[in-house]
Structure 1
Amino acid sequence: MNIENYKVPVNSQVVLSQYPTSEDMKKHNDDIREIKIPELVNTLKDLHLKLHAEEKKGILVVLQALDAAGKDETISYIFSNLNAQGLKTTSFKKPSEEESKHDYMWRLHGGLPARGEIGILNRSYYEEVIVTRVHDLIDDVHIPDDKNREEIWDVRYRQINDYEKYLTENGFHVVKFFFNMSKGEQRDRLLERMKNPKKNWEFSFNDVKEREYWDQYQQAFEDMLNQTSTEHSPWYVLPADDEWYARSLVSEIMINVLQEINPQFPEITGEEKEKLQEYIEKLENEMK
């Protein structure tokens, strides 16, 4: 597959409906799940272990979508297979009272990766240009003094782009996945959660209420993609109706990012190498 097909061009004016929600890949689910995904995950694990050992670079992964699009499952089936010590996952929900007292990016910091880590944001600061916009939740206190209410979104897009560039310039790559799901597929997945007692815990009544704003969300997503897909932190639009195919795309894109970083296991040289040999001999002599 050509992962570039799913990458949103820089300075684009794409229409979200031009990106497929399905590539008719459900019929290949068994092969993707049982053959392709394990191979991709093994490659990803090896690269991630080197990233963690080297501790020079980090990766921030943003997962953004409507409910039931597959964010949680991508974490479970792909990222959870990686070395837990080099992995950090943060879920963003409605801002707490404490978080609301700060700038809207403030609560991001606890989810940022350290060098050698992959940090995953299950939803993210992008909620502040999506949910906040759809439901008109912006508070006057968060609008710059020299801007009006309609200008705030362009301001936030610029601020987000600047911050992601700052992260990239400091050694933290930013890769962003949007799970592009059709309204019919979401309906089917929500019904499954509602009807299956083992999945009831995944369902929220608010998920159905939010469907009433489907068109507004699509417009907000489209603006987000067009305004914030950059050279340093691109968006990838996944055909989320094909759940296993979407997960394989995430794996391939992450492998590509790590291969560009090209992490290496640290080499022991000089005095440390001599000391290592000394301690090897010491432990081996204990066996005699």
Structure 2
Amino acid sequence: MQDFKSEEFKVTRRIKLADIDTEYRKNYDDDVKEEKLVDTSRKLAKIQEKMYANNRYAALICLQGMDTSGKDSLIRELFKQFNPRGVVIHSFKVPSSTELEHDYLWRHYVVLPEKGKVAVFNRTHYENVLVTRVHPEYLLGENLPGIEKVEDVTPEFWENRFRQINNFEQHIAQNGTIVLKFYLHMSKEEQRKRLLRRLEEEDHNWKFSPGDLKERACWEQYMACYEEAISETSKPHAPWFVVPADDKELCRCIIADILLEELSKYDFPLPDLEDKVEDNIEMYRKQLENE
């Protein structure tokens, strides 16, 4: 099975999602995809171990996509080879009352990864220019100066948020956090099939929410918001990758390959041993062998 190159999926100019395929041009047998994912995941886990020992970089992996696009299963399958102490998953839902008492980036900032660790944001700070843009009435709960009613939300408001997000990501990147962002690009028809599956299979019923249908009715609005958000915030220090997601298994393989390629660009040298330890390694070895 081929290796997928990040440049094929990286956003480097303004995009139109309708012009980007949600299915990859070539498919593979399920067993081949599974084998490749396991192999790539193991390689990623080794890189993370070196990152942990090096203790100078962290990695932030941002996952966005419409409901049922496969974010949860991607996390489950891709990161199960990792040392649990080296990867932290955060799923962001409706802001709590405490979170609403702070600016919208606060709840994301306080859970950024420590040096040496990987953090995965399942839904991210981009919800603040996606969900709130489709439903601007949600902004009223943030008690923002000058925003008393929906009509107060101007195009300049969103331009400011894009600028703030870019500044936030540039700041953390300059301080050692590798930022990689993925949009799981699924078709509306594929979402319909997956929602039906949730209703038809009893062990998946719990995943269904009537709210999924409410958001699905806003599909075109969401696509427009995603297009602008991705186009405005895909930067060299924090690139977006649009990955076809109609095939969940293949989507996982592509994202795994992109992560491996991008993280391999960094140097994570292992720390040097103290001189007194290095000089006495043979003595320590013999001591242990002679016990």
TM range (shorter): over 0.9
Q: Which amino acid aligns with 1:14?
A: I
Once superposed, what is the RMSD of the aligned Cα atoms?
1.7
The answer as to 2:280 corresponding to 1:268 is: no
Which of residues 221, 238, 246 is equivalent to 1:241?
246
Superposed CA deviations along residues 93-121 of structure 1, whole A, max 9, x for unmatched, are 00001100100001012321111101000
SS in 2 for 1:114: coil
SS in 2 for 1:111: coil
The answer as to 2:211 corresponding to 1:209 is: no
Pairing 1:11-160 to 2, within 5 Å after superposition: 12-33=13-34, 35-136=35-136, 137-139=138-140, 141-143=143-145, 149-150=153-154, 151-160=156-165
Could you tell me how far apart the structure 1 residues matched to 2:252 and 2:144 are? 36
Superposed CA deviations along residues 115-174 of structure 1, whole A, max 9, x for unmatched, are 1101000001110000011011222732569xx621111101000001101111001110
Quote the offset at 1:175 in angstroms.
Answer: 0.2
Could you tell me how far apart the structure 1 residues matched to 2:282 and 2:94 are? 54
Q: Which residue of 2 aligns with 1:8?
A: 11
The worse-fitting range, judged by mean Cα deviation, of 238-247 and 199-208 is 199-208
The answer as to 2:179 corresponding to 1:177 is: no
Could you tell me how far apart the structure 2 residues matched to 1:142 and 1:275 are? 62
Superposed CA deviations along residues 22-54 of structure 1, whole A, max 9, x for unmatched, are 115455333212x22122112112111111121
Could you tell me how far apart the structure 2 residues matched to 1:27 and 1:40 are? 16
SS in 2 for 1:115: coil
**Please, which runs of 5 or more residues in structure 2 have no aligned partner?**
none
8 Å Cα contact 2:5-2:257 kept in structure 1 = no
Which of residues 258, 261, 264 is equivalent to 2:263?
258
Q: Which amino acid aligns with 1:141?
A: N
Query: Relative to structure 1, is the Cα distance of residues 185 and 25 closer, same or farther in structure 2, using a 3 angstrom cutoff?
Result: farther
Could you tell me how far apart the structure 1 residues matched to 2:70 and 2:169 are? 24
Task: Name the TM-score, length of structure 2 as normaliser.
Answer: 0.91
Seq. identity, %: 35
Pairing 1:189-228 to 2, within 5 Å after superposition: 189-228=194-233
Quote the offset at 1:271 in angstroms.
Answer: 1.4
SS in 2 for 1:198: helix
The answer as to 2:277 corresponding to 1:283 is: no
Query: Relative to structure 1, is the Cα distance of residues 143 and 261 closer, same or farther in structure 2, using a 3 angstrom cutoff?
Result: farther
SS in 2 for 1:69: coil
Could you tell me how far apart the structure 2 residues matched to 1:2 and 1:264 are? 24
Q: Which amino acid aligns with 1:72?
A: D
Could you tell me how far apart the structure 1 residues matched to 2:120 and 2:27 are? 26
Quote the offset at 1:277 in angstroms.
Answer: 4.3
SS in 2 for 1:63: strand
